[in-house]
Structure formats: structure tokens, C-alpha cells
Structure 1
Amino acid sequence: MTATFTPNERTQDNPEVRQQPDGPGLRYGKRAEVTAVVAIIPGSINLFRERIAQFQAESRYYEGRIGTVHELRIILINDNAQALVTVTYDGDFKPYLEDILREGGPWFDALFAGVWEGYGKSSEPETRGLILGSLVTASMFYVNHHDLSVKDVARLKRQSAALTELLDSVN
């Protein structure tokens, strides 16, 4: 980031937030962010609302296949004329984009085809171009535990459960 700040006692242990080296978005430790601003086709909001429950229900399956997503949000804005699609994930942008399109492409297609203006199929170069052209970088990005990846969190949860079980068996 090019902005400067005044160092003080509140900034002394602040890790560097930097631009992703290979695409849009910011990087904070192991985690990165990117947001898409999506144009909703006029009159398609009811179709979007019909599909969003299925999209939500399938999120754990698809995000598990992708394996690097910490959180994903889709927010309707501007009187349902646009949506913000925000994601926090591990690693570099290009590998994440390829993972999301390969593993989650059919999932996104089922939600956005006929809803996102210009969206065809995630496998089409035109749709990939549309996605890339809709991406913006946050002005500010913070996550707690920026040094933990999705895999790190899963491992720590397993270790905690095993330790709790061991301690409970002693009592």
C-alpha cells in the first residue's frame, strides 16, 4: 500500500498489508481479499432470490472443494441493481481464481447465469473477462489471525478436540 501512517504504540505490531502480487486485492499475512461489483439484470432479482437458498445450502460442499476460502458474502446493493461479492481466502490471486472457477464454477453458474449481466458460464473466456473486470481492491483490509490458513484452522480445531477428549477422559 502506498498510504503512510504515523508509527506509535498502537501500530508497532501491525503486519504489512500489501497489494496481491498477481492480481487485484490486498494481502494480509496468509490471507487475501477481493470484491466483485456485479450488475444485476433488470427484472432478474426474483430469479436471484429463488436461487440463493440453494447456493447457501451448497456453500459448505463447494468451499470445501476449493479449500482456501475463509468467508464469502453476496450483498444486494443499490436497490437490487448490483451485488457485492466479497471473499477472504488464502494465498495468491491467480491460483485462487483458477481453483474457484474449476471447483466452484458450476455452483456460481447456477446462481449467476441469467442474473449477472453478461455472465454466461464460468468456463467461457468472456465470463472470466467479466469477472476480472468487475473486481475491485479494498481500501482497508483487516483479519484476525492473519497468519492462519484454512488448513491451519482445521488442524487446530482437530488438535483442540483431541486435547479436550483426552482431558475429559482423565476426569
Structure 2
Amino acid sequence: MTVTEAELTAHAQDITDQPDGPGKRIGKKGELTIITPLTPEGGKIFRERQADIQAKAGYWEPIVGTVDNFRILLFDNDTRMLITLVYDGDFLPYLADIGRAHPWLDEIFGDIVEGYNGYNDPGTPELVISRSYSADLYFHATPDKTVHDVKRMSRLSDALSEVLDAAN
């Protein structure tokens, strides 16, 4: 099978920089990568809290409402943290949105991330920006669908399946 260059690039996405902060943007989706040093005991503390933090994700992320996905990885012998995010919209509104989950964020990052003094600390936005990186390559399968759109479509699909199952 021979594929032409035009076929390979026919679905190329328009990738731009976020207009108001770090990260890239495709459609309605922004991305952000943060690499940050941990406090001397940060890795140990995070590992102790990890199960609790994970268990609470399903509560806090819907409250934020704009998080498509969120991942954390400890590396370099638990001395640094990699945080990757995909979210709806621009950077500054997202930074405000995550404030609705500030107790959870403080549990995740407090006493763990070097220089983090709590979400409500006036220096937190600059700390986030100073440790942020834009992706060199970024793809999103549904760049024009928000988290709200996807949840609505999922509910519609479930309802339709229920109706079709009842008709059988």
C-alpha cells in the first residue's frame, strides 16, 4: 500500500502557543508540562500520600471541570516530579479553575514540591510558570470537545443504549 504525503498530512492539527501562558493549544485543548524539584523528603511524603491522593482524584477533578487528563511521575530517585496536563481553554482561566481543588492540590504538592507554599500563596502562579515547558509535539484526538462535551455525549450514549436495550 502506498500512501501519499497529502494523505499523511490531511488531518494535521493547527497547533499554537497558549495566548496567556506556557503550553501549546489545539482547538479547545491546552497542554502543560511541569518539571519541579522535590523537597528532601518530598518523594517519601508523596509515596505515603499517593493512595489517598489517587482516591480523591475522582472527587476533585469534576469540581475543577476543565481537566481532560492529569499525570504525575516521580523520577531521578524521587528527587523530581513531572506533571503533565491537558485541559480546556486558556492557561490563566485554567489556573483559576484548579483553585476550586486547592485543598487537594495542597495535599499533593505541600511539603513535597520545593518552593510550593500552597495554592493561595501569591507566588504560586509564577512558580508554576517558571517550571513549565511547552510540548514539542502535541496531538489530541478530540481537540474541539471540552470535558463537558465528552461527559454529555457519554450520558447521551448511555441513555440511547438503555433505550435500545429496552426495545430488544
- TM-score normalised by length of structure 1: 0.91
- Tell me which moved more, 48-57 or 65-74: 48-57
Letter in 2 for 1:28: I
SS at match of 1:9: helix
1:117-136 to 2 correspondence within 5 Å? 117-136=114-133
Which of 25, 32, 35 is residue 33 of structure 2 equivalent to? 35
Q: Find runs of 4+ consecutive structure 1 residues off by over 3 angstroms.
A: none
Aligned twin of 2:60: 62
Are the aligned partners of 2:42 and 2:79 in contact in 1 as well (CA < 8 Å)? no
Distance 1:35 1:62 in 2: 20
1:148 deviates by 1.2
Confirm whether residue 163 of structure 1 aligns to residue 160 of structure 2: yes
Shift, 1:76, TM fit: 0.8
Equivalent residue, structure 2, for 1:50 = 48
Counterpart AA for 2:108: L
1:10 aligned onto 2:8: yes
Q: How high is the sequence identity, in percent, across the aligned residues?
A: 40
DSSP-derived class of the 1:125 partner: coil
1:113 is matched with which residue? 110
The residue correspondences of 1:88-103 to structure 2 (distance < 5 A) are 88-100=86-98, 102-103=99-100
Alignment of 1:129-148 (within 5 A): 129-148=126-145
Q: Shift of the alpha carbon at 1:43?
A: 3.0
Aligned equivalents of 2:155, 2:108: Cα separation in 1: 33
RMSD: 1.2
Amino acid at match of 1:69: V
- In 1, the alpha carbon distance for the partners of 2:117 and 2:109 equals 8
* Count of residues paired in the alignment: 164
Q: CA deviation at 1:127?
A: 2.7
**Which consecutive unaligned segments of at least 5 residues does structure 1 have?**
1-6
Deviates more, 1:70-79 or 1:122-131: 122-131
Q: In the TM superposition, what whole-angstrom CA distance separates every residue of 1:81-107 from its partner, at most 9, and x where no partner exists?
A: 10101110111111001111x212111
